[in-house]
Each structure stands twice: as structure tokens, then as C-alpha cells.
Amino acid sequence: MAELVEVLLRVAVVLLAFLVVPLLVGQVEHKAMAHMQSRVGPMYAGGFHGWAQLVADGVKFVQKEDVVPAAADRTVFKMAPAVALLPYLVAMVAIPIGPGLVGQDLDIGLFFVVAVMGVGVVGTLMGGWSSANKFSLLGGIRVAAQLMAYELPFVLAAASVAMAAGTLSLTGIVEAWNPWWLLWQAPAALVFFVAGLAELQRPPFDIPVADAELVFGPYTEYGGLRFALFILAEYAGIVVLSALTAVLFLGGWHGPWEDQVGWLWTLAKTGLVAFVVVWVRVAYPRLREDQLQRLAWQGLVPLVLFQLAVTAIGVVVMSS
């Protein structure tokens, strides 16, 4: 019985984090991006520097009409936002923020999280296909192309960490982490972060939703609450990607006084990576489709194959 209560408690905390942290990232994006562009961003909602802007957005979205185009494939169209959103919730269960501070520590945590993150993209594909709209279809095809190009370096970079740690458990990986991984695994970290950005279709890899040519890509026909779920999925994705980057490559809870405030270190590193995600959006222009494919196949894949070789040699040299 006590076990069941504990499980429910952990799951409830994860759900709470899932509802709060993506909004925090969204607010940081509003404000940080505004200041980088010499604007002030939202200032009115909630009184103090527009802190309640996204809450106000949520209240607005929930009151909006539910429009499904007559030509659309209704069932798939309606399911797509949930399929896009829920995988990130499930992924968050497996990500540890401290020793024992995890929704559920899985033996194959790394494999599980990477697999589940791939499902999120299917939601976008479903939206693109079921809208029966030319912009949506083109956007969906671009999403598919991008997924195929970047899923591979993403997974191989994760495999490099698994090789270095000798385990697939995320807790085990953080425990095996050593500061010199910052150098040894640096190419994998870079590949993982860049490929993760591309999987989330974040700028500069946002060609599937390129507003100047495709209106809003796969989301063109979406409005109201369903649209809000897609946007929430994007920010939940940023949280999951940042947390994974922090846990796999930046040492998670390792840092000064890690016995007392280890979980704070994980959160701080996650926040830092999330800030970089926002920063990259402001700093770089959108990649063209061919540039995108070239970066993946002729840049990231060879780089991560090189990293796999370096990791393998490093592990055997150290263990012998």
C-alpha cells in the first residue's frame, strides 16, 4: 500500500512539473527573446513584468471555438495534438533530477526516453496529413524528412554516452559521469543538442513551420485548444531535451555540495540548456531544406561515428 502511495506521489509530482516547467520556459522565451531584440515582451498580465501571460493565454485558448475543417480526416485530426504532447509527459517520468529523485528509474531509461521522444513527432505528422491542406501536407513531409535525418545522429550520440557509462539507466549514467567527459564526449553533446533541436523543429530547424512559405506548416488548420496543445508539446519537448542534455552530458546532479543540493544542480543545468535553446532561436536564421539535410548527413552523422570510435577506444583503454 505504501508503495502504491509513493508511486502515485512521484507520478503526481511529474505531472505538476509537466504543467509548470514548460510554461516557465515559454515565459523565459517571451522575455529573453524580447530583450535580445530590444523589446520588453509581455508587461501587463499579472502585473509584474507580465508573469501571468501564458496563464492568460491558456484561459483564452480554452474558451475558443473548436474548428475542424470539413475536408479533414476528423479522428486523426483530433487525436494528433494529444499524440504530440503525451510522449513528453511519459519521457519526463524516466528522467532523474537527483539520486533517487526520479519518477521511475528504468534499466533501459536512455533507450526508453529516446524511443518515446520519437513518438512525439508522429503527432505532428498526423496533424500534417489529416488536415487535408496543401500547406499542412508539405509541412508534414518536411517534418518526416527532418525526423529521418536527425533521429539518427540523435540516437547515435545517446549510444556514445551509453558506451562510456556502460549502462542504459539514466541514474547509472550520471553516477558514472566524470568531469573529463565534458571534453571526451563533447562532439556527442554537440550532436545530441543540435539533432534534438531539429527533432523539436525549433529554429533554426523550423522549416516545417516556415511561416513565410507554409503559413504554419502542419499546424495551419489548427486553432484554439488543439493548437495550444501543439505549442505546449514544443515547450515540453524543450524541457525534455534540456534535461536529457544536462543528465547525459553535463553531469546531472554533480557539482559542489551535491549531497545536499544535487537536484538544484540538475535543474540549473537544465535551465541553462533551455536558455541556450531560446538564444539559438534569436541568433541564427532558418536553414534551407538542402542545408538541413547536408548538415545532418555530411556533418553530424560522420562526426558522431567518429565519436563512437573515440568512445570505444577510450572505454577499452581505461578498463584494461
Partner 1 sequence: MADYYTAYLPLLAILALGVGLVVAMFTSNRLLRPTHRTAEKMLTYECGVDPVGEGWAQSHVRYYVYAYLYVIFAVDAVFLFPWATVFGGLGWISVGEMGVFIGFIAVGLVYAWRKGVLTWT
Residues 216-255 that bind partner 1 (CB under 8 A): 220-221, 224-225, 229
Site for partner 1 in 7-46 (CB under 8 A): 7-8, 10-12, 14-15
Site for partner 1 in 159-218 (CB under 8 A): 159, 162-163, 166-168, 215
Minimum CB distance to partner 1, residue 135 (Å): 7
By the rule CB under 8 A, 138 interacts with partner 1: yes
Neighbouring residues of 269: CB distance < 8 A, sequence distance ≥ 6 = 246, 250, 251, 252
Binding span for partner 1 by CB under 8 A among 191-199, 257-265, 272-280, 303-311: 303-311
Q: Closer to partner 1 at the Cβ: 255 or 299?
A: 299
d(CA 253, CA 248): 11
d(CA 264, CA 187): 26
Which of 20, 36, 40, 62 forms a contact with partner 1 (CB under 8 A)?
Answer: 62
Minimum CB distance to partner 1, residue 101 (Å): 14
> If 0-12 CB within 10 Å is exposed, 13-18 middle and 19+ buried, where does residue 128 land?
buried
Distances in whole angstroms, Cα of residue 269 to Cα of each of 55, 164, 191, 248, 254: 25, 21, 18, 11, 10
Asked if residues 231 and 69 have their Cβ atoms less than 8 Å apart, the reply is no
Closest CA to 227 of 134, 120, 127: 127
Q: Closer to partner 1 at the Cβ: 110 or 277?
A: 110
By the rule CB under 8 A, 5 interacts with partner 1: no
Tell me how long the chain is. Answer: 320
Residue by residue, DSSP assigns 228-273 as HHHHHHHHHHHHHHHHHHHHHHS-TT-STTHHHHHHHHHHHHHHHH
By the rule CB under 8 A, 145 interacts with partner 1: yes
d(CA 148, CA 46): 42
Q: Closer to partner 1 at the Cβ: 93 or 246?
A: 93
Cell reading at 155:
540516437
Per rule CB under 8 A, count of chain residues that contact partner 1: 79
Distances in whole angstroms, Cα of residue 255 to Cα of each of 52, 170, 279: 33, 17, 25
Q: Closer to partner 1 at the Cβ: 39 or 74?
A: 74
Which of 28, 43, 101, 141 forms a contact with partner 1 (CB under 8 A)?
Answer: 141
Minimum CB distance to partner 1, residue 55 (Å): 14
By the rule CB under 8 A, 74 interacts with partner 1: no
Looking at this protein, which amino acid is placed at residue 244? L
Minimum CB distance to partner 1, residue 72 (Å): 8
Q: Closer to partner 1 at the Cβ: 34 or 132?
A: 132
Looking at this protein, which amino acid is placed at residue 50? G
Site for partner 1 in 92-121 (CB under 8 A): 93-94, 103-107, 110-111
Minimum CB distance to partner 1, residue 180 (Å): 17
Minimum CB distance to partner 1, residue 22 (Å): 13
Minimum CB distance to partner 1, residue 9 (Å): 10
Which of 17, 90, 95, 240 forms a contact with partner 1 (CB under 8 A)?
Answer: 90
Q: Print the binding letters for residues 272-291 with partner 1: x by CB under 8 A, - otherwise.
A: -----------------xx-
Minimum CB distance to partner 1, residue 169 (Å): 9
Distances in whole angstroms, Cα of residue 223 to Cα of each of 230, 231, 232: 10, 11, 13
